[in-house]
Structure 1
Amino acid sequence: MRTFRRFLIVLVFLGIVLGGIFGYKFYQFGQMKEQMSQPQPPAEVSAAVATLQSWTPAIKSVGSVEAVNGIQVANEVPGVIQEIAFESGDMVKQGDVLIRLDSQIDEAALRTRRAEAQLAQQEFKRIENLLPRRAVSQSQFDEAKANYDAARARVNEAEAQLNKKVIRAPFDGKLGLRLVDQGEYIATGTPIVEINMLDPIYLDYTLSERNLPRVAQGYEVEATVAAVPEETFSGQVSAINTSVNPETRTVRIRATLDNPEGKLRPGMFATIMTRQPEDREVITLPRTAVSYNTYGDYVFLIEENDQGEKTVTRRSVTTGDVNNDRVAILSGLEEGDQVVSKGLLRLRAGQRVTIQEEAADSEQAAEASES
């Protein structure tokens, strides 16, 4: 009996506690419902107007600067460096001497070959004069001629070997750092100096296969590099690869740029804009007015309700190219539509808004200056 009474007391106590909790939650819910039923104050936003502008369509990409010709100069034959005829960073012309290797042995070998050739020539002429008088046989004449031809060939071989002791610039260009020293023995294929042709210069980059119909040889390109951020370099598309990379679904593009001052160097990272030949009219907005979303981009369109209040409606849009701080709107808006340019994260569809007049005025002034 006593156990039952204790159990009953516990049940009553628990009922009071739970009842109090549920009652407090019910009271909170009522307060929230009452607050939500009250009209919310309008949110302050900045506004922008969809503007029709004339744009030159462009495709943005990244790539790297490449030399038209660029190699590490190396030697074909081993030897000791007798003379270095350049300094690091020199500009050279094709055929300019870079280094000379010790060639005493080769010069002596050439003199020997020339003496042998001279002797073979004399023997050949003597037999040639005797042949009409039948003082020598045809086989002796043929053998003398073959010996003379072989001797001349050995002279040519010795001259070619001697010429390889002089390393020359293979093309016009700018030299890099000297990698060898005078008196040093260098084995075959030792790097001597880097040489690059800097004017003109190539710009290699890739574009998605979907952009392939939008690019062709002769299209203008503009490039910027971090080393010269205040300058834009112009050129033209000079070649388009004949195949698409099956792994990345991209195609390689090559542009040729003038580089008379040598500001562009091979290996530089570049940002490239490939421009199409004709302008077109597009509706544009500030980039801050567009909310980029995985499920589609959208803007908040500002409209006026029956009570004369400004409200916002979420409107899906299709975006295009970006030019400076403005983005092209391909569909979803018309010229003159007013949208929220700042404060998108605080908004929901149907919410009342007030436009910050100062921000709106400055935005319109900026648009007027652009047009």
Structure 2
Amino acid sequence: MKSSIPMACLLACGAAAANPFDCLIEPYQMVEVRSSVEGIIEKVNVQRGDRVRAGQVLVQLESAAETSAVQLSRVRAESQGRLQSAQNRLDYAHKKLERQAQLEAQKFVSVQARDEAEAEKRILEAELRAAREDKEQAILDARHAQDLLNRRVLRSPFDGVVLDRMLNPGDLAESGTGRKPILKLVQVEPLRVEVVLPLAAWGKLKPQQAATVVPEGLGGSHAATVKVIDSVFDTASGTFGVRLEMPNAGGRVPAGIRCRVDFPELRQLVTPASYTRPAAR
């Protein structure tokens, strides 16, 4: 039986149903893990492909000297002997001054004796202040020593996956961006989706608008949200870039694969017959 729906309607309805564009799924971010200080690597706790959590210890540099410095500074910071001694001597000076003042009022001692007791009290007050300042400095020294020790422990900045491991225990970790990194990490929850759109699509999308992404070779569709719309066009191709964010709970969708993305706002968009959608940047 022949369909009663005109062919023109079928073509129009099909065009309105979807107008997908080529895109590329990429990690949300990638970092190269380097040490801020030079040192021999003692432990590397992860391998290529391992999943890591934010704050997890990834690399430990040799730190025997720094550990000893922390222990020594903690002993000094927790020491109470000098401070307690200064406080006791000041308490005694207070009592001595009170007795001297009473005796001076009764004419049993000279004014000079009372003045000497008062001067002694002031000296001991200064010694107590100095002891307290030394105590505060010791606490700060302990914190500084702990900070130096912490720099020899490298932790993951986010939940992600170890993309590669370049150095091993016994290797020298060197500081500086030009040096060889120890690890490469990628964040795959969520993912970035990069798409290049023709000039005709300009002004039809806004941040937070929804889109549907279909990864190549995996099947299924995934919801995504527009995050960035470039304001500078590519002159040669007459295109502009759009970045989307796609949730990826459990890292089910791998990064680095091509995809197709459908924007409901662009389903009526008619591109010139000669226009070829460029590969995603």
TM-score when normalising by structure 1 = 0.54
**Residue 90 of structure 1 contacts residue 175 of structure 1 at CA under 8 Å; is this kept in 2?**
yes
Aligned to 1:287: none
**Residue 211 of structure 2 contacts residue 224 of structure 2 at CA under 8 Å; is this kept in 1?**
yes
Q: Counterparts in 2 of 1:135-146, with a 5 A limit?
A: 136-146=123-133
Amino acid at match of 2:167: V
Aligned to 1:18: none
- With over 3 angstroms needed to count, the CA separation of the structure-2 counterparts of 1:109 and 1:250, relative to structure 1, is same
- Counterpart pick for 2:231 among 244, 261, 278: 244
Q: Cα RMSD over matched residues?
A: 3.4
Q: Identify unmatched segments of 5+ residues in structure 2.
A: 1-5, 95-120, 276-281
Aligned to 1:198: 188
**Residue 64 of structure 1 contacts residue 205 of structure 1 at CA under 8 Å; is this kept in 2?**
yes
What count of residue pairs does the alignment treat as equivalent?
234
1:81 is the counterpart of 2:41: yes
Q: Distance in 2 between matches of 1:89 and 1:293?
A: 43
Amino acid at match of 2:262: M
Q: Identify unmatched segments of 5+ residues in structure 1.
A: 1-47, 285-290, 295-371
- Counterpart pick for 1:272 among 238, 261, 271: 261
Higher relative strand content: 1
**Residue 216 of structure 1 contacts residue 237 of structure 1 at CA under 8 Å; is this kept in 2?**
no
Q: Counterparts in 2 of 1:6-25, with a 5 A limit?
A: none
- Counterpart pick for 2:85 among 121, 126, 140: 126
Secondary structure of the structure 2 residue equivalent to 1:117: helix
Aligned to 1:364: none
Q: Counterparts in 2 of 1:1-371, with a 5 A limit?
A: 49-52=7-10, 53-54=12-13, 56=16, 58=18, 60-119=20-79, 121-132=80-91, 133=94, 134=121, 136-189=123-176, 190-208=180-198, 210-225=200-215, 228-229=216-217, 231-241=219-229, 244-245=231-232, 248=235, 251-259=240-248, 260-266=250-256, 268-276=257-265, 292=273
- With over 3 angstroms needed to count, the CA separation of the structure-2 counterparts of 1:265 and 1:293, relative to structure 1, is closer
Q: Deviations over 1:73-93 (max 9, x none)?
A: 221222111122112111111
Q: Deviations over 1:41-70 (max 9, x none)?
A: xxxxxxx93225545465544443332232
TM-score when normalising by structure 2 = 0.69
Deviation at 1:246, TM superposition (A): 5.5
Over the matched positions of the two proteins, sequence identity in percent amounts to 19
**Residue 85 of structure 1 contacts residue 98 of structure 1 at CA under 8 Å; is this kept in 2?**
yes
Amino acid at match of 2:232: N
